[in-house]
Amino acid sequence: MKELAFSIPVSGIVKIDGDTITITVNRAETMIRLEPEIGGIGRISLERGKSMFDVVLETARELVREKGANRFTAAELYHKSLERYPAIKRNSFAARIIGSAPDHRSYRHQVTKRDYLSYLGNGQYKLADRYAVEESSAG
């Protein structure tokens, strides 16, 4: 068997128009239509002026109110926050929880420090008394 090397000149054009891509090679044409992802590209979208630390605080308050006890785990806090913010990444949220608990041994590594939580050990946290929301009477 004998092989022959050869080349074929190919010219092509790629046109991008909004959500449509048209690829033309010589006289053949292919069109691809892109569908936008619902809910963005997997990034959390918070209200203007709200930080992930605010999410930690509001979720902790909500969790304490629901449980009727001021004791919870980081996992409970994370899973509760997913109800409202499904795009939250576990590691990012865990870092904010540690950055909200001054008595956690890794708190010193955090740049933006808060004091919303107290670390009780064995993965347990509690909401600091000054941030606990008291149920107001109907008046």
Task: Name all domains of the chain by residue range, CATH numbers in brackets.
Answer: 12-39 (no CATH), 52-131 (1.10.10)
pLDDT digits (tens, 9 = 90+) for 28-81: 899 988 876 555 555 677 788 889 999 999 999 999 999 999 999 999 999 999
Name the pTM for this structure. 0.65
In angstroms, the CA 108 to CA 114 distance is 11
Residue 92 above 50 pLDDT?
Answer: yes
CA dihedral 130, 132, 138, 139 (to 10 degrees): 20
> Among positive and negative, which fits the CA dihedral 117, 65, 132, 49?
positive
Nearest 5°: phi and psi at 88?
-65, 135
In angstroms, the CA 121 to CA 50 distance is 29
Q: How confident is the model at residue 134 (pLDDT cuts 50, 70, 90)?
A: low
CB 74 within 8 A of CB 94: yes
Share of the chain above pLDDT 70, in %: 89
